[in-house]
Structure 1
Amino acid sequence: MPNETSGERLLARRYRLLTHVGRGGMGTVWQAHDEVLGRDVAVKEVILPHGLTDEERAVHHKRTFREARTAARLGHPGVVTVYDVVEEDGRPWIIMELIKARSLDQVIKQEGPLDIRRAAEIGRQMLAALHAAHQAGVLHRDVKPSNVLITGAGRMGERAVLTDFGIATASGDATLTQTGLVMGSPAYIAPERARGRVAGPASDLWSLGVTLYAMVHGKSPFERSEPMAALVAVISDEPDPPEKGGRLTPVIEGLLRKNPDQRMDAIEAGALLDDIVRQETIDTQRTMAVEYSPDELPGRTLPRPGETPGPEPRDVPGSDAMSGRPDELTRFDSPAELAALAGAAPSAAPADATAREEAVRDDPADDRSEEHT
């Protein structure tokens, strides 16, 4: 079957291929319809490079089946769900959850760099998905903006979903990467992997750090015109300081330590990202002023209809339970004070403490025999 599959194709007598969704280094993703369950799905068509031997082709097929098993066993809302994997025309096809959304890479290109809070929120969702994968013994090994789907409308309702575990490895699986071949995107790959060393969870965290940098700066700090130049930069060059990182700067710098043993771990990074999101949310809140009329001020009891107003309640020392100060009183002594608390300018405010006491004694509505101070 040719790579450009007909839209009338019925895969495995069940999945009808409809339209292209995207294309990557490991294949083409289609929107398809599951004729059995009556739902739309995404189908990844694995397209192999030309000139491969039969043995190399078999290795790629095994990798694809492993990808399906790896992603299917995660079961995390931040990881695209794998429903099925079928073999047709001598190669595997992966049936996945269809997520109609832009990639993070598209969001950055269309909208420009993200604000700090939005980047931190997306970053912590990515980190949660990676942490769940690492707990299950799974490495992604190709974390980058084009492998993150952003769903939902508006910043508060966005969901970040990691996709394309095409070169993931799982604990207990023999390596399927050919000797001397580095799989992944050069501008996002970790230094230890660029050197051909064994990858670990810290390698995914490096890629997350580069992705955070790209979210607030628009591109990876190691982006170069040639892939080999990008690999050399990852190994040899220190990234440019994250000048637009704001509160994300400690996270980015911690994740981009070249020595994986000194790199910030998921727990510390997650705590910092949580604090950023929480603090940014608090800082953007505004307190609305509530206006009261003098008769509606807190602490003033209003008479019911038909009821004759009684004398003002006497002040009792120690009654201010909220303040915790037993000698402080809560009292509205005069119309001038009421007007001031209501936001209006008093018509005749007492000039000093002596005038205030005289005003209180001359008030016929005040039957108190002594003044509490």
Structure 2
Amino acid sequence: MTVGGGVLIGGRYRLLDVIGQGGMGRVWRGRDETLGREVAVKELLLPPGVDGAERELLVRRLLREARAGARLDHPGIVTVHDVVEHAGAPVIVMEYVRGRSLGAVLKADGPLPVARAAAIGEAVLRALRRAHDTGIVHRDLKPDNVLLTEDRVVITDFGIAHTADATTALTRTGAVLGTPAYMAPEQLLGRPADPANDL
């Protein structure tokens, strides 16, 4: 599914402009017309040539992200507000976090002062503790998935999160999900997801 700016989805969320894009999704800054607030809207991007089985897998993965995010209530984890269907695929509506990713900050400003790096690390650890206590492992924690605001550090993109109670595999045999440069060796070897992978 691909949508354009200005489109109203779910009867209330207006897409305004693209704020991020990854291999599996595009994130829009949007407006909740019912409540009059900014939101982030993540749509599923299907690669060309995706067959029915692969499409179903990707849709289930996006729904898993929404469910994982909805279970987490912590100021250091982006809040999921809603999941709506548009053009036959689910779309996740989340809190809009006004700030920059840690990856963008590092690219623009270079290394952080030690005290700031430690404070960010401590905030990420608190958020991860909540996720892990809830039985959720992020599996793709990297600077681009950590958002920085004036007063918050927020983890986002639980797109490949693993839940301890997951009963179905959502990857193809031999597929590695995540960003290799930030993966634990155990994850690269295909071992079961564990909180240590995030740490």
Q: TM above 0.5, one fold?
A: yes
How many residues in Structure 1 have an aligned counterpart in Structure 2? 198
Q: How does 1:281-300 map to 2 (within 5 A)?
A: none
* In 2, Cα distance between equivalents of 1:125 and 1:119: 10
Q: Secondary structure at the match of 1:187?
A: helix
* In 2, Cα distance between equivalents of 1:179 and 1:129: 31
TM-score scaled by structure 2? 0.96
Q: What per-residue deviation string (whole Å, max 9, x for no partner) do you get for residues 66-120 of structure 1? A: 1101111110110000000011111110000001111000100111101111000
User: 1:49 Cα shift?
Assistant: 1.8
Segments of 5+ residues of structure 1 without an aligned counterpart are: 153-157, 206-373
* In 1, Cα distance between equivalents of 2:127 and 2:69: 11
Structure 2 match to 1:97 = 95
Structure 1 match to 2:143 = 145
User: 1:193 Cα shift?
Assistant: 1.0
Q: Secondary structure at the match of 1:79?
A: coil
Counterpart of 1:50 (choices 48, 55, 60) is: 48
TM-score scaled by structure 1? 0.52
Q: How does 1:34-183 map to 2 (within 5 A)?
A: 34-152=32-150, 158-173=151-166, 174-183=168-177
User: 1:24 Cα shift?
Assistant: 1.4
Larger RCO (CA under 8 A, 6+ residues apart)? 2
Structure 2 match to 1:235 = none
Percent identity reads 55
- Is the 2:101–2:148 Cα contact (8 Å) retained in structure 1? yes
- Is the 2:30–2:38 Cα contact (8 Å) retained in structure 1? yes
Q: How does 1:304-315 map to 2 (within 5 A)?
A: none
Structure 2 match to 1:204 = 198
User: 1:48 Cα shift?
Assistant: 1.7
Q: What per-residue deviation string (whole Å, max 9, x for no partner) do you get for residues 201-241 of structure 1? A: 11110xxxxxxxxxxxxxxxxxxxxxxxxxxxxxxxxxxxx
Q: What per-residue deviation string (whole Å, max 9, x for no partner) do you get for residues 13-52 of structure 1? A: 1101111111112211101111111111110011022222
User: 1:6 Cα shift?
Assistant: 2.5
Q: Does 1:8 align with 2:6?
A: yes
- Is the 2:162–2:193 Cα contact (8 Å) retained in structure 1? no
Mark the structure with the bigger radius of gyration.
Answer: 1
Segments of 5+ residues of structure 2 without an aligned counterpart are: none
- Is the 1:169–1:175 Cα contact (8 Å) retained in structure 2? no
What amino acid is the match of 1:159? Answer: R
